[in-house]
Each structure stands twice: as structure tokens, then as C-alpha cells.
Structure 1
Amino acid sequence: MGELQDIYGRGFKTLRVSLLSTCNLGCIYCTMGSEDEIAYDHRPQTPAARFIELIAAVHAHTGLKTIRLTGGEPLLYRELEAVISGIKALGITDIRMTSNAFLLERSAEKLQQAGLRSVNVSLDAMDANTFFAMTRRKQLPRTLQGIEAAIDAGLEVKINSVIMRGKNHDEVLPLLEYAFEHKVPIRFLEVMSMGHLFGKAGQYLFTQQNMLDTIATRYSFTRLPRKPSATANYWQTAQGDVFGIIGNESAPFCQDCNRLRLDAEGNIYGCLSSNNPIALNGSESSGELNEKLQQAMHQKQSLHFVGSELSMMHIGG
């Protein structure tokens, strides 16, 4: 079992797996925001056995600690329970998922029973009209019901909220209040320069400091120590509630990133900023696999995320 490191001494123990490139929302930071422009992936879904084969090969070589399942929307993947139980059978127990929660109410309990430990739910507004403007979907209650079902099922839940200046920056406090009411951590994300927003995200940037200034109008808070390899900075309010901010632009966290990404075609990436997929077939020799993983490690940025034309629909957040 090897310890992969890049030239900055960073290793990896977390693999993010994009199960498919289809989503049932049309979030404007991921797609162009028009129903006609959403690129649905009509190719057959990659079998669960194939994902397990690739994950097993990487795990045997590196000793993975965490798997995060993403998409597109992973709840649209038909063999989701099989992938989760297969990963658990490999001895990896920290299995997480990122979802929009539209379909989570009906599946939260069985996914928890299969081995899912936690879910990060994308929620960008509490106002129904703003929710529609951000996602091109009107059914905000379905997302909220999914969050509450996940809590009831015993899953660890976090809320992820992408904040865009001029689009939903006035939702910071309502989102915070919802999270505090339900006793779940919330993380606000600066918009990323990805896909159709590559090179254009700056006009929508609502920075970490902008968010803190907004929250300070209602709450007193203190900063918490940053954990190694964490994407978010965290604060705790005087009442004991916790919130985080992922400031990929104004407060980058590349310096100790420990993640690699696997897409549904079996390509591995070292960073969202890279458009150079490295194909895995699952049958590489130890030396060949080590070389490919090392190539992915070298894709990592030295300090700052620079963005990519790669769609978030394809590789996940």
C-alpha cells in the first residue's frame, strides 16, 4: 500500500466518485439556467460493479479513508444502494454523498441502512421564487422534506449553499436560520469559475468577508480552528451554532487538499482546475496504477483554484 504525494508533500485519502452526469435541477452556476440548455446524459449508467472494481483497485493501493458520491445527482443513479454496500464491503466505512435531496425523502432510510454515513444537501434559497431562479425548479418543499428525512434516518447532514451576488446573496440569513433551527451545520460557498462560468464568475462573487459581514448584522461569532485538509473555514455563534464558508476564491484551501476525483467513465482527476482526465481500467499493475495516480496528484494546484471549462454536472462539486 503506497503513500502518494505530490511535489508539495500532499497525499490523498478521499476519493470523490461522480456516478453520472445527469441532474434533475438546472442550477444556474452549473448549467446555463435554461431548460433547453441542460445537457442530459442519455448514455447507459455505469454498472455498480464497475465502480466497485475501480474503487477497490485504488483502495488496495492507497488505503482510502473516505468516499464521497456525487453526480450530477447521485439519487438518479439506479444502483446507488449497491454501490454504497459494495464500498462498505471493501472496508471503507466513511461513505458520504452530495445531493440536491429532491428524491431523498423516499430513500434516506434505506441508504443509511446500506452504509451511507452522511449527506451534504445543496440548498441555495429559502424563498420559493429565489429557489426557482437558482435551480429552475419550483418544488422547494421537496428539498426541505429530503433534509428532514435524512436527519430522521440518522444521517449526518450538512447544508451547502452557493451564494451569488445579485442572485441569492440576500438568502444568507434565512438559510442560516433554517440550519440553526434544525441543528445542522451549513456551509456557504463562493461561486466557482467552472463550466459556462469559467472566467465569468467574478461578477457574481460574494466573498467570504461579504458573508461574514452579512451574518454579523444578526449574530456574534468566533472563528474555530481549521482542520487539516478542510475545504471550509468554520465559525461558532454565541448561541453555539456552527456555520462554515468555502471561500475557494478569497480564502483558497489548495495547500493541503487530499482529494482525487473519479468520473463515470473511469477517468481520474487531481483537481477541478484540470481538464486532463487520466483513464483507469481497474486491471493496471501496481506500478501502472501508481504512475496514473501520481499523474493525478501532480494536477493539484500549488495555492489557488483557477477554474475550468469542465462542467460541474460532469464531475460534481
Structure 2
Amino acid sequence: MTTAPLIDPFHRPITYLRVSVTDRCDFRCSYCMAEHMQFLPKKELLTLEELDRLCSAFVRLGLRKLRVTGGEPLVRRGILTFFQAMSRHLESGALEELTLTTNGSQLGRFAADLAALGVRRVNVSLDTLDAGKFHAITRWGHLAPVLEGIAAAKAAGLKVKINTVALKGFNEDELFRLVDWCGAEGHDLTFIEVMPMGEMGEEIRLDQYWPLTDLRARLAERFTLTDLSESSGGPARYVRLRESGQKIGFITPLTHNFCESCNRVRVTCTGELFMCLGQEDRADLRAALRGAPDDAALIAAIRAAIARKPKGHDFDYTRAHVTGQMSRHMSHTGG
């Protein structure tokens, strides 16, 4: 069975996989999912053993970074057994990094175990430091357990990066508060433009959209920004704030397309491989997983899918309506 590296049609090596382990979440963030979601039946989800097979196949094909997402990955029953399975690839040196994106609600329970299994950093989604606004945007969530979880991660030796979705009229007034808090706690901070994912309504999306060009200009009123050439392997571009020494990231799928360096693909909790977050083309890896006990068909399906990876996405808010909108929710695609 050939294990030649995965190279897409535009000569980009595919070395980064974001895998969703569940579509379920204990929050209902208004830009991510509907309040009354219809979650998938258990039989449609990949088992933890199937997730192990799938991710291990990607590792054999040159995967260097694996990010576990959801939904909220830490609500998946038995999830530590999956991290334990993946840790063998860290120990062998085949995998450089095993990490996750989380809402932080369960970090207090899992941070020490994750660190023991080789996780070195986590991304925590946090859009506000105001308890009332936090409950409003998450609908079901409470801020205190998230802050406690972040503290637990820091105590366990995990590097924490805060991901904040920039939302017009919601957290514009907290820009400097978030920057100052992250600086005091030693956390990196990345701002993300809200993406047109899920059937949320065009008017809602346009109302929420706060372009990061505006946010960056506001930061520059207080700080001296120096562009950095470094990359964490994802789509963020970084600056250093000279006055505080902090690193701030910007993920700008709308104001600045980052597709030219895309090295990543996403697998949903049902085994659908999406070669691009902003396109609907996908490949069914679940059928290959369940159709044979060996991985020949699975690897063939992965290679065929990567051969269809597009040059870029079509997200666009520049006109009076949203184009490139995806009907699937972010919780389905995974991070």
C-alpha cells in the first residue's frame, strides 16, 4: 500500500487535519448553530475506533498536525481513549502535534489528562469577558466554568490560545479588554471574522460582520503593530504589539483570502471529508471505513478526494448580500 505524501492539484502538501468527533455541544452559540438543534443519531457518527483508523491512515500519508474539534469535543463520551490512541503517533514521531479546539466548559475536568497524553496547547473559543453577554451569545453557557477551565489548562502546562469571533455590535467595545486580559494571563489571542456557515439568515450574518481590517485599525490606535512572518500551521496571520509584546492573530477568510497556503482538510463526525471549508464538495470516508477491514479503500478514497481539492473558497460579504454561504453548520463540519 503506497504511503506517498498527499499533494493537492495546486502542489500544496496536506499535512493538517481537523477532525470533528461530535456534532453535539453544551452551548448554542448564535453564530454557530440553532438553539434547538437536531443532532445526528449515534449510528451515523464514526466510532472512536473508526476515528482512530481514519486519523492513523492520514498519519501514514504524511499528516503532521491533528486538531480535534466538534461540536464540543470534550462532551464525547470516552474521548480520552481517542486522545490516548493518537498519542502513540506522537511517541513514534510520526505526528508533530495533537491539539484541540474547545469552548472551555469541560477543561477543568480534562486539562491534566490531556497534558499527560501529549497535548501541549489548546484553542479556547471565548467571545466576551462579560458574564451576561457570554450567556446571551452562548444561550446555554456560563462564563465562570470556562474561565476556571482555562486556568486549569494553564496550571497543567498547556499553552492556551483564545479564539474570539469579531461580532459587530456585540464585542466591539471589549477589544482592548480582551487584549489586556490575554496579555495579563499569558495567552495568545486570535480574532476571527464570522463566516457564512449554517442557515442563520443573510440579514443576521451581515449584521454580525465586523471586518478585521477595522478591528486592526482600532488596535493600531493604541499599539504599534509589527507583522510577523511566522505561522502556526493554520490560516492566521500574526502581529506583535510592541508595547506589550503580545502576539495577536487575524483569521480573515473574507477580507483577506488565505487559501494560497492551505495545507488542511476537515473530516466531520460522520466521516465526510471536506477539502475546503467554503465549498460543498465532499467525500464519504465512512463507507470506505465500514466496507472493508483493511485500509486500502480508505486510503484510495482519501487520495481521490485530495485530487479534487479546490484552489479556494467563495465567501464574500462585500456586496449587499452574503455569497458563498454554506448551509451546513460549523458544528457539523468541525472547527
TM-score (norm. length: structure 2): 0.86
Work out whether residues 167 and 210 of structure 2, in 8 Å CA contact, stay in contact via their aligned partners in 1: yes
Question: Which residue number in structure 2 is paired with residue 310 of structure 1?
Answer: 328
Residue 101 of structure 1: CA displacement?
Answer: 0.5
Work out whether residues 278 and 313 of structure 2, in 8 Å CA contact, stay in contact via their aligned partners in 1: no
Change (3 A) 1:298 1:199: farther
Work out whether residues 29 and 138 of structure 2, in 8 Å CA contact, stay in contact via their aligned partners in 1: yes
Residue 270 of structure 1: CA displacement?
Answer: 0.6
Question: Which residue number in structure 2 is paired with residue 28 of structure 1?
Answer: 30
CA distance in 2, matches of 1:101, 1:217: 31
Residue 41 of structure 1: CA displacement?
Answer: 4.0
Question: Which residue number in structure 2 is paired with residue 39 of structure 1?
Answer: 38
Question: Which residue number in structure 2 is paired with residue 289 of structure 1?
Answer: 299
Alignment counterpart, residue 179 of structure 2, candidates 176, 179, 201: 176
Supply the AA of the counterpart residue of 1:48: L
Match runs of 1:71-220 below 5 Å: 71-90=70-89, 91=92, 92-197=95-200, 199=202, 201-220=205-224
Q: What stretches of structure 2 of length at least 5 have no aligned partner?
A: 316-323
SS of structure 2 residue aligned to 1:177:
helix
Q: Percent identity?
A: 29
SS of structure 1 residue aligned to 2:178:
helix
Change (3 A) 1:285 1:76: closer
CA distance in 1, matches of 2:168, 2:99: 29
Residue 251 of structure 1: CA displacement?
Answer: 1.3
> How big is each residue's C-alpha offset from its partner over 1:141-185, in whole Å with a ceiling of 9 and x where there is no partner?
111111111011011210000011122222222111111111110
Aligned residues: 313
Is the deviation greater in 280-289 or in 9-18? 280-289
CA distance in 1, matches of 2:4, 2:201: 35
> RMSD of aligned C-alpha atoms?
2.2
SS of structure 2 residue aligned to 1:222:
strand
TM-score (norm. length: structure 1): 0.91
Residue 85 of structure 1: CA displacement?
Answer: 1.3
Residue 214 of structure 1: CA displacement?
Answer: 2.1
CA distance in 1, matches of 2:140, 2:221: 30
Alignment counterpart, residue 272 of structure 2, candidates 253, 267, 275: 267
Q: What stretches of structure 1 of length at least 5 have no aligned partner?
A: none
Residue 206 of structure 1: CA displacement?
Answer: 0.9
Residue 222 of structure 1: CA displacement?
Answer: 1.5
Work out whether residues 57 and 295 of structure 2, in 8 Å CA contact, stay in contact via their aligned partners in 1: no
Supply the AA of the counterpart residue of 1:23: C
Work out whether residues 14 and 264 of structure 2, in 8 Å CA contact, stay in contact via their aligned partners in 1: yes
Residue 72 of structure 1: CA displacement?
Answer: 0.3
Change (3 A) 1:228 1:40: closer
CA distance in 2, matches of 1:265, 1:140: 30
Change (3 A) 1:295 1:168: same
Is the deviation greater in 279-288 or in 167-176? 279-288
Work out whether residues 10 and 311 of structure 2, in 8 Å CA contact, stay in contact via their aligned partners in 1: no
Work out whether residues 100 and 123 of structure 1, in 8 Å CA contact, stay in contact via their aligned partners in 2: yes
Supply the AA of the counterpart residue of 2:261: D
Work out whether residues 166 and 212 of structure 2, in 8 Å CA contact, stay in contact via their aligned partners in 1: no
